[in-house]
Amino acid sequence: MSAQPTRFLTGITPSGTPHLGNYAGMMRPAIAATRTAGCENFYFLADYHALIKTQDPARIHRCTLEIAASWLACGLDPEKVTFYRQSDIPEITELTWFLTCVTGKGLLNRAHAYKAAQDKNQEAGRDLDDGVNAGLFMYPVLMAADILIFNAHKVPVGRDQIQHIEMARDMAASFNHLYGEHFVLPEAAIDDHVATLPGLDGRKMSKSYDNTIPLFSSRAQLQKLIGGILTDSRAPGEAKEVEGSALFQIYQAFATPEETAAMRRAFAEGIAWGEAKQMLFERIDREIAPMRQRYTELMANPAEVERILQAGAEKARAESAPYMRQLRTSAGLRSLSVSAVAAQPKAAGKSAPPAFRQYREKDGLFYFKLATPGGAALLQSRGYANPREAAAAIALCKEHGKAALASLQDQVQLLAQPSVVEEGLQQLQSTD
């Protein structure tokens, strides 16, 4: 009997035109990964997420087409993966509400994006929530729904996105605790070897720095942009350093090991910057040119892109629609003719009680967390100066259960619904 395939899920927000950094850092390795045996891959255009960042309809529409065409042109095979647009899957937004109702506000308060927005407002002397829309605040819940509706096992993310996967696990565990085991707890897939390309000015290639090289620039535009890469003043014949050279780093991201070694020798021998830029241009164009042609064809035929996305949505909804019906039934949203007893999730005996975990963070303070055996976080403490204070608060919770919450209200933050937290504390009391 063959093992169950591992599911990978990747979301791409249509908020800008792809550049060489996006291609080398994410698109190329992600597409290569789709050829791995024993894996199922889900790729989606996160257009609901785009609404958080911009309310420009024309831009969202244009970027959706550009991003979809880019991935297809770069070799994403819609026959081998499930490639769809987020807004074509209504079950995602329905699940978002289900998860909202089992997620404590305290958990969302800790989200990095929300805290960063508040910190920015505080520095500017404004109200902490000035300019913060509810979409930004609820972003982690929507992201969790994206993942959980297809029970993805692995989600490739950067280290700055790990928190979102941890929050998705908390939400999944909370739902499972209340309604039975439905969701797989997803894991973050971190690649520490992802290529990070420098831009024209040597800083990380980013739209925010306005230093990008668009992935599908025309041949003439590509040559012009590469000609503008910042270099030092070393003359032809003078040895040049590869360390810190944006030109060399970009070349390395596209070249074979042999080509890279040859360029390294050329640097040591004093290659002229103009010649090095021409070599870089020719190497990139050799890889990009066939994809550029396909991209141009797709951009001229948006109906074909739409057809591919609709086919992907049909494939995705063949899973999401019946799964959502199952979740509705488990939550009690079912036909009145269905027996309440019959629809209850099967209990596997008395569930194990939650447990406290005390730990120390990088700030030097001591914290504790109460979590279910499934990993759902119920409450989180503030930082204590010494471990004895944290231990005393834990002891108070164990002794007095939910009654302790009143005296600790300034010291702990609920990460789940109050009734769920209180039930967990009650379980602890009964086992002590």
Do residues 62 and 205 lie in contact, with contact meaning Cβ atoms separated by under 8 Å? no
pLDDT at position 349 over 60 = no
Classify residue 379 by burial, with Cβ atoms within 10 Å: 0-12, 13-18, 19+: buried
Whether residue 18 is found in the same domain as residue 134: yes
Whether residue 226 is found in the same domain as residue 263: yes
What's residue 121's pLDDT?
Answer: 94
Measured CA to CA, the distance from residue 147 to residue 145 in angstroms comes to: 5
Whether residue 116 is found in the same domain as residue 23: yes
Sign of the C-alpha dihedral, residues 366, 371, 375, 376?
A: negative
Q: How far, rounded to the nearest angstrom, does the alpha carbon of residue 324 sit from its chain's CA centroid? A: 22
Whether residue 22 is found in the same domain as residue 125: yes
Three-class SS of 316-333: HHHHHHHHHHHHHHHHCC
Residue 242 is part of which domain span?
Answer: 216-299
Do residues 361 and 345 lie in contact, with contact meaning Cβ atoms separated by under 8 Å? no
Widest distance between CA atoms in the chain: 86
Whether residue 40 is found in the same domain as residue 99: yes
Whether residue 229 is found in the same domain as residue 263: yes
Per-residue pLDDT band at 138 (split at 50, 70, 90): very high
Which of residues 233, 268, 299 is at a domain's end? 299
Per-residue pLDDT band at 1 (split at 50, 70, 90): very low
Do residues 45 and 70 lie in contact, with contact meaning Cβ atoms separated by under 8 Å? no
Measured CA to CA, the distance from residue 255 to residue 202 in angstroms comes to: 19
Query: The CATH number of the domain where 274 resides is what?
Result: 1.10.240.10
Averaged pLDDT, 22-28:
89
204 inside domain: no
In what order do the strands lie in the sheet containing 187-189? Answer: 82-85, 39-45, 6-12, 154-156, 187-189
Whether residue 188 is found in the same domain as residue 71: yes
3-state secondary structure of 162: helix
The Cα-based distances of 9 to 19, 126, 151, 293, 335 in angstroms read 22, 38, 9, 28, 33
| Paired tokens of 45 | 């255009």
Whether residue 258 is found in the same domain as residue 312: no
What's residue 194's pLDDT?
Answer: 66
107 inside domain: yes
202 inside domain: no
Nearest C-alpha neighbor of 185 from the set 175, 193, 195: 175
Three-class SS of 28-86: HHHHHHCCCCCEEEEEEECHHHHHHHCCCHHHHHHHHHHHHHHHHHCCCCCCCCEEEEH
Do residues 427 and 354 lie in contact, with contact meaning Cβ atoms separated by under 8 Å? yes
* Mean pLDDT score of the chain: 89
Whether residue 177 is found in the same domain as residue 97: yes
What's residue 132's pLDDT?
Answer: 92
Whether residue 292 is found in the same domain as residue 318: no
What are the residues whose beta carbons fall under 8 Å from the beta carbon of 379, sequence distance 6 or more? 106, 369, 370, 412, 413, 414, 415, 416, 421
* 44 strand-pairing partners: 11, 84
pLDDT at position 412 over 80 = yes
Which of residues 319, 343, 367 is at a domain's end? 343
pLDDT at position 7 over 60 = yes
What number of CA atoms fall less than 13 Å from residue 352's CA on the CB side? 9
Neighbour tally for 333: CB within 10 Å: 11
Whether residue 238 is found in the same domain as residue 140: no
Nearest C-alpha neighbor of 373 from the set 387, 390, 348, 356: 356
pLDDT, one tens digit per residue, over 374-409 is 667 888 888 888 878 888 888 888 888 888 888 888
Whether residue 167 is found in the same domain as residue 292: no
Neighbour tally for 106: CB within 10 Å: 17
Do residues 140 and 146 lie in contact, with contact meaning Cβ atoms separated by under 8 Å? no
pLDDT, one tens digit per residue, over 263-312 is 999 999 999 999 999 999 999 999 999 999 999 999 999 999 999 999 99
Query: The CATH number of the domain where 94 resides is what?
Result: 3.40.50.620
203 inside domain: no
Length of the chain: 432
Query: The CATH number of the domain where 420 resides is what?
Result: 3.30.160.160
Nearest C-alpha neighbor of 26 from the set 67, 54, 64: 67
350 inside domain: no
Per-residue pLDDT band at 48 (split at 50, 70, 90): very high
pTM, full prediction: 0.77
| Paired tokens of 363 | 């700030």
Tokens 């403490």: give the residue: 381
Domains held by the chain: number: 3
207 inside domain: no
Do residues 157 and 122 lie in contact, with contact meaning Cβ atoms separated by under 8 Å? no
Measured CA to CA, the distance from residue 90 to residue 99 in angstroms comes to: 15
